[in-house]
Amino acid sequence: MEYQELPYVLIDYIGGKHGVHEDHVEFLKKYFHLITLKEYIENKKFLSEKIRAIYMWYHKPVVNEELLQSLPNLKIVASSGVGIDHLDLKLLSGYGVKASNTPFIVSSDTADLAMALMLASSRRLVEGYQMAVSPDTEYFPADWLGDAVSGATLGIIGMGSIGYKVAERAKAFEMKILYHNRNRRNKEEESAVGAVYCEKIHHLLQQSDFVLLSVNLMPATHKLIGKRELELMKPTATLINVSRGLVVDQDALVEALQNKVIKAAALDVTYPEPLPRDHPLLKLKNVIITPHMGTATKKTRLLMMENMIKSIQAGLMGLPIPHEVLL
């Protein structure tokens, strides 16, 4: 049987803060000849024509025109996660390179985290933990209260896969669900979760006790929530963001939280990530911040890797690519 060389695939690096997970490497090596960016730079003359795909983990390696020019046989860039704001699709298309992501795989875990942020913020879990373990605590004050989630109104901005799964979970909490989306869901989908469509975003903001952001970052959603939008929200409302930090005008959010324009914020995403250690958001008691961990479960990360493998294989064989990202 004739030996077939494994396809050469470029990765950023292995391990560390943002490298390919070390426990994924052996599995990936069953399908690909992995080349780190450092190895590629050191042996560009030999490897430039060998590499046919890029395995992009945590948005790395950065794919710019310089890199594309140096990889004449590149066919596909497979990116982990759902966001595509780090991909220049027009540039990739100009070089005949296709792109894919892993959108539906991350939906359940991200929806779970959105609910966790809502519950943690409303019931003041972080403050409660600090009170419970503090060496200075002598008693628990009876008037230390949070807000009820059950029966409250949840406004979802971005009713894609993640937003819809949040709605499914919120239904179990008997929440009233409003949503705003570029495209309205069909009546059967709305009825299944009891969601009411708001054509205008300000109608949603004015009525919601919790506002969840689950949109893709693009020019139309850059700083979608700013000073005006925050002022439309209830002073008792909480903003929850599991999309991208740049969907919110962060300076306006700080001001709104400091001046009690809104009650609280629960953020899995910020800009930059992590925030500078002296950033005002880190000093506010009415803010919960998590380290962009919506997809951070072993199961989901494994499924993301497997999906990326399938996309690369399909792209190299000229077959339809699962979850191809189109212009």
Supply the residues annotated as catalytic: 244, 273, 292
Q: Is the distance from CB of 237 to CB of 213 less than 8 angstroms? A: no
Helix, strand, coil percentages (3-state) for the chain, rounded to 5, are 40, 15, 45
Sign of CA dihedral 224, 228, 232, 234: positive
Structure tokens at 289: 């911040």
Q: Which residues contact 194 (CB under 8 A, 6 or more apart)?
A: 171, 176, 177
**Which token pair is 121?**
């913020």
Integer Cα distance of 229 and 238 in angstroms:
13
CA dist 183 and 158 (Å) reads: 9
Please say whether the beta carbons of 310 and 291 come within 8 A: no
Helical (H) or strand (E) element with 307:
helix 298-317
315/318 Cα distance (integer angstroms) = 5
Kindly give, in sequence order, each residue whose CB lies less than 8 Å from that of residue 119, ignoring residues fewer than 6 positions away: 125, 149
Nearest CA among 241, 188, 191, 233 for reference residue 213: 241
